[in-house]
Amino acid sequence: MNQPVDFLKVLDTYKPLVWNQIKPYLSDLVNYPDFCKPGLKYQPLVNFNQKIISDYPVRQGKYVRPTLVLLTASAMGYPIKKALLTAAAMQVSEDWILIHDDLEDDSLQRRGQPALHHQIGKELAVNAGDGLHILMWKILSDNQKIIGPSLSYQIQQEFYNMLSRTVLGQTAEIKWTQENNLDLTEKDVLFILESKTAYYTIAGPIRLGAILAGATPTQLDKIFQFGKYLGFCFQIQDDLLDLTSDFAGHKKQTGNDIYEGKRTIMLVHLLKHANSEDKKKVISFLSKTRSQKTAGEVSFVISKMGEYGSLDYSRKLIKKYANLALDYFQTELNFLSKNPAHQQLLSFIDFLQNRQY
């Protein structure tokens, strides 16, 4: 009988492997070819540029996405060593996206510290994100030396598809929030989740690992379907924790998504089920800017989500999609068969629905 796997320990195992790939690229940010090398006068500026570009990578998240790349490759018998640069590019993509995402949402914190744009200003934060974006493509270009030009091209195409769909999801979320769209359905919210979470956080990293290992188009399609189930579970759980948790002390502000006006499963459910008086209050609140909203108003919305069953409904959906993901993994993804990676991937499903941050 297989012993239960602690997925947090799995993350702790793979994080250093990926970080050791990223560190040299961050260090190299101060080096330029001789033909365009800045003069000594500008060295402090060069150092500052390196510092702000390196800020989010140095903070280090949980490294879920790069770990999924490595576990999938390993589960299909592909050497982890040859998958490390692909995993590193996946992690760097998360860091530049988060810088831009935090600015777009005016988030207060990231990984227990003030969001970068609150530290150095919006313009420099955007530029730092651009720097990491460039670094991601540099890593993917260097990957050619490890995996060859043909496979490298396939990996870059997957990055293009994954990131393009992520941007579409962000466009939808921002546009609908700016318009204060009150007619969204659960299906509309799942469209955002499919773009921003299902593909980018789950299916994309797993597909990358599988592409490295020579997966067939049918296998890659099945991974995408699995990613949808598990991605919905992941993001709904994340949105629920935003309303009910301090992310194990990493987050100061409860209900950040409500401040930002994000269209979540809970909000759509509340607007559908609230009586006319409560719905009117929630709609009035949603029309305000973030700075105009008070903690008391956010608490009111969260309390109504509890009263009208929106929080419990989200918990049922988390369980539903987790069960669908588990069943699909066991019946359709049997090509991810090699242990210990197979068991570690299996433990990821349980980790997502039961995590507290």
Residue ranges in the chain assigned as alpha helix (H): 7-27, 43-59, 64-75, 80-105, 116-120, 122-142, 144-147, 149-178, 186-193, 204-212, 217-244, 256-260, 265-273, 276-286, 295-307, 310-332, 341-354
Asked whether the beta carbons of 107 and 115 are under 8 A apart, the reply is yes
CA triplet 19, 233, 197: central angle to 5 degrees? 50
The per-residue pLDDT for 100 is: 96
For residue 335, give both structure tokens. 């090509």
Which of 73, 54, 76, 69 has the alpha carbon at shortest distance from 18?
69
Which are the contacts of 207, defined by CB distance < 8 A and separation ≥ 6?
A: 158, 162, 215, 220, 223, 224, 227
* Distance (Å) of CA 90 to CA 16, 43, 253: 15, 30, 28
Residue 187, in any domain of the structure: yes
For residue 90, give both structure tokens. 């996946």
Mean pLDDT of 348-354: 85
Residue 1, in any domain of the structure: no
Residue 2, in any domain of the structure: no
What is the tally of structural domains in the chain? Answer: 1
Residue range 150-164, pLDDT digits in tens:
999 999 999 999 999
Q: How confident is the model at residue 247 (pLDDT cuts 50, 70, 90)?
A: very low
Spatial distance between the Cα atoms of 156 and 150, rounded to a whole number of angstroms: 10
Q: How confident is the model at residue 313 (pLDDT cuts 50, 70, 90)?
A: very high
Spatial distance between the Cα atoms of 251 and 155, rounded to a whole number of angstroms: 34
Which are the contacts of 49, defined by CB distance < 8 A and separation ≥ 6?
A: 29, 131
Mean pLDDT of 210-222: 98
Residue 133, in any domain of the structure: yes
The answer to whether the pTM exceeds 0.85 is yes
Residue 252 confidence (pLDDT) above 70: no
For residue 39, give both structure tokens. 């003069």
Range of the domain at 51: 7-354
DSSP string, 207-229: HHHHHHTT--HHHHHHHHHHHHH
Enumerate the β-bridge partners of residue 110: 113
* Distance (Å) of CA 217 to CA 106, 133, 161, 220: 39, 28, 15, 5
Which of 170, 139, 140 has the alpha carbon at shortest distance from 155?
140
Give the DSSP letter of residue 141. H
At 201, phi and psi to the nearest 5?
A: -90, -35
Q: How confident is the model at residue 2 (pLDDT cuts 50, 70, 90)?
A: low
Residue range 4-56, pLDDT digits in tens:
789 999 999 999 999 999 999 999 999 999 999 999 999 999 999 999 999 99
In the chain, % of residues over pLDDT 90: 82
Residue range 172-208, pLDDT digits in tens:
999 998 888 888 999 999 999 998 899 999 999 999 9
Residue range 111-135, pLDDT digits in tens:
989 999 999 999 999 999 999 999 9
Q: Which CATH number does the domain housing residue 29 bear?
A: 1.10.600.10
Q: Which of 69-73, 142-146, 176-180, 248-252 has the lowest mean pLDDT?
A: 248-252
Residue range 51-86, pLDDT digits in tens:
999 999 999 999 999 999 999 999 999 999 999 999
Residue 222, in any domain of the structure: yes
Residue 205, in any domain of the structure: yes
* Distance (Å) of CA 296 to CA 281, 283, 292, 293: 13, 15, 12, 8
